[in-house]
A = this chain, B = another copy of it.
Amino acid sequence: MIRRDWIKLLAASSAATMLPIPSLTAGPFEGRRILFQGDSITDAGRNKEINEANNIQALGYGYSALISAQLISDNKEFQIYNKGISGHKVFQLIDRWQKDAIDIKPDVISILIGVNDFWHTLSNGYEGTVETYIDDYRKLIDQTLTALPKVKIIICEPFVVEGGTAITPEWTPAFDGYKKGSLAISKEFKLPFVPFQEYFNRALKSAPASYWCPDGVHPSIAGSTLMAKAWMETFKRI
Which residues of A come within 8 Å of B, CB atoms?
1-5, 8-9, 11-17, 19-20, 22-29, 39-40, 44-45, 54-57, 59, 61-62, 65-66, 68-70, 72-73, 76, 86-88, 91, 116, 120, 123-128, 132, 136, 206-207, 210-215, 217-226, 228-229
Contacts and interface: CB of A to CB of B under 8 A. Distances in A.
B220 A54 contact: yes
Nearest to A43: B17
Given A54-B220, A207-B76, A223-B26, A87 B125 contact: no
Contacts of A212: 26
Nearest to A24: B220
Nearest to A132: B2
Contacts of A224: 56, 69
Given A27-B210, A218-B24, A220-B26, A17 B5 contact: no
Contacts of A86: 13, 16-17, 19
